[in-house]
Amino acid sequence: MPRSTEPVQPADEKGDSLERWLAMHRRFLQEAKDAEPEILWIGDSIIQRLSQSKIWEKNFCGMHSINFGIGGDRTEHVLWRLHNGELDNLTPKIIVVLVGTNNHGDTPDEIAQGLKSITTLIRDKQPQAFVILLSLLPRGATPNPLRERNKAVNEILEEYVKGNSKVQLVNIDTGFIQPDETISHHDMYDYLHLTQKGYTKAFEPVNELLTQLLQEMEGEIERPETEGAV
């Protein structure tokens, strides 16, 4: 079994990092009990920092979203969290997942296997939820092996979701790589994490899909009440 699919807690590299990670996990468990979200966001720092973005405030917050992102998480860390309560005590309509870029040392296939394991677990625990996988973003100011690795993961995921009516991959790389193959600091301030401009650029396609899905789901709920009416 590759480590990307084995649920584990992260190593305590800073002396308090595991304690802080577990504190966030416990907070998420409480939030799951208190909230009734329609959309659950799960992932690493890109998801975590999304909650401080303008597009979150403008669009996603009003969709009754809850954010379970933790910076530095790998696929196996997200798996541990989901196996240990973060999918309990809530019934979201949609679950959005973005993780994998921190899986250093793993092959594209191993990272994709981790994401497939996450998706399978979500489908088992939350069968009513539509799952949205977000593509891994490119990284680095100039071309590099990790950028190529993330691209390869996305290609595997494209094949994985084909024919699956309850899982969809959304490409959030909306032109971050410029014609000279560099990434602008205006989009990613450290060539990894998104700026406000970058968040709007990356997550507008997600906003469009979520809006469409929620409208369709609302229509499905209302339709039985109106059928046969005169």
Distance CA 67, CA 60 (A): 10
Is 193 an active-site residue?
yes
Q: What is the DSSP letter of 3?
A: G
* Cβ–Cβ < 8 Å for 202, 137: yes
Which helix (H) or strand (E) is 117 found in, with range? helix 108-125
Look at the block and give the residue holding tokens 């921190």: 102
DSSP-based three-state secondary structure for 100: coil
Distance CA 185, CA 121 (A): 36
* Cβ–Cβ < 8 Å for 126, 92: yes
Distance CA 183, CA 176 (A): 6
* Cβ–Cβ < 8 Å for 118, 8: no
Distance CA 97, CA 118 (A): 9
Is 51 an active-site residue?
no
Is 104 an active-site residue?
no
Catalytic residue among 4, 25, 44, 45: 45
List, by residue number, the catalytic residues.
Answer: 45, 190, 193
